[in-house]
Amino acid sequence: MSDINEIERKFIAGAEKMANVRQEIKKFIVGQEEVIDQVLWSIFSGGHALLEGLPGLGKTMLIKTISESLSLAFSRIQFTPDLMPADITGTMILQPDEQGRQRFKFHEGPLFSNIVLADEINRATPKTQSALLEAMGERTVTVMGKTKKMLTPFFVLATQNPIDLEGTYPLPEAQLDRFMSKIHVEYPTAEQLKEIALRTTGTEQIKLTEVIDGKEVVAIQQLCKEVLISSEILTLAVAIICATQPRSDDAPQSVKQFVQYGSGPRGLQSLIHMAKTRALFSGRYHVSIGDIKHVARPVLRHRLILNFEGEASGISPDTIIEEAIASVRKQGAAI
């Protein structure tokens, strides 16, 4: 019984720390509760997040605020067309040793940090974008045959503008799949705009407190993995992933008509990881159907590749995901 009580206390403490981080962020960020939650779910699931929204909606500020709430090393990379891979990862430079001989020494780039803000990531060339693939997927960087490990924990929180396409390079599917979630930042309401103006145009300065450190972040990540998921809920998650595949017999008509490629194993892993984190965030120790449904859109929207008809029709991946979930529920999977 004492072991059970100890486990319960551990879960309660983890949920409280996550709630404290969220509350600290809300001291500065007005509204955007869903965006804040989804970014935190991604972080505590050990994944990367891509924030997409119109200019001036506070994407960069949100990430900087999160970094101030966590006692983690933070670096910002402003992506531009002339940015080179070595500007991100670092490079080997010649330096004299104690005997005066020239030797190569690795000079770390801004990627060697706990939280990396990749601002306007789609403005960099594909060559530079690809420099992030190994770091995001394997948590390592290879330079001149030497492999360097990233710091722990390590997150890439990226932003991109969906409307200004001049001088941009769309992220390839391989890199999009490295992001655990793609989060849409919505336009604030009139009341939220008023509150933003009051907070940012006056003399008062809001100071944020570091709530947790790197070790606690890693501990919470491990705690999230311990959240239980039943066989029925796991079957439901698998059925949703399969329903996004146009070649699947169980896929809805919209998927067969508009989708060229659906989600795969990494999408399933991300779906389960984030559902577990949301469950703990909500004070529960098991994954519910609601958790799976709630995280499906940010986890899967960037993993659906539409065909020409889907692109031309303007159908939203979110709509397709909702129909895939509805078709699975209608078939009675895991219920």
Q: Could you tell me if 137 and 270 are in contact, meaning their C-beta atoms sit under 8 angstroms apart?
A: no
Among left, alpha and beta (phi > 0; psi -120 to 50; other), residue 144 is left
CATH of domain 227-335: 1.10.8.80
Phi and psi at residue 201, in whole multiples of 5°?
-110, 5
Contact 103/146 with Cβ under 8 angstroms? no
Region 283-297 average pLDDT: 91
**Over 70: is that where the pLDDT of 297 sits?**
yes
Res. 331 pLDDT band, cuts 50 70 90: low
Instruction: List pLDDT tens digits, range 27-41.
Output: 888 778 888 899 999
Q: What's at 321, amino acid-wise? A: I
**Per-domain residue ranges of the chain:** 1-226, 227-335
Highest mean pLDDT among 108-112, 157-161, 276-280, 327-331: 276-280
Domain 1-226, CATH number (from 3.40.50.2300, 3.20.20.70, 3.40.640.10, 3.40.50.300): 3.40.50.300
Instruction: Determine the Cα–Cα distance for residues 335 and 328; give it in Å rounded to an integer.
Output: 10
Output the pLDDT for position 335: 46
Which region among 132-141, 176-185, 262-271 has the lowest average model confidence (pLDDT)?
132-141
Report the half-sphere exposure of 244 (CA within 13 A, side-chain side): 29
Question: What is the overall mean pLDDT for the chain?
Answer: 85
- pLDDT tens digits for range 64-111: 888 888 888 888 888 888 888 888 888 777 777 777 777 777 778 888
Give the type of residue at 130. Answer: S
Give the pLDDT of residue 165.
63
List CB contacts of 97: < 8 A, sequence separation 6 or more: 103
Q: What's the pLDDT score for residue 42?
A: 92
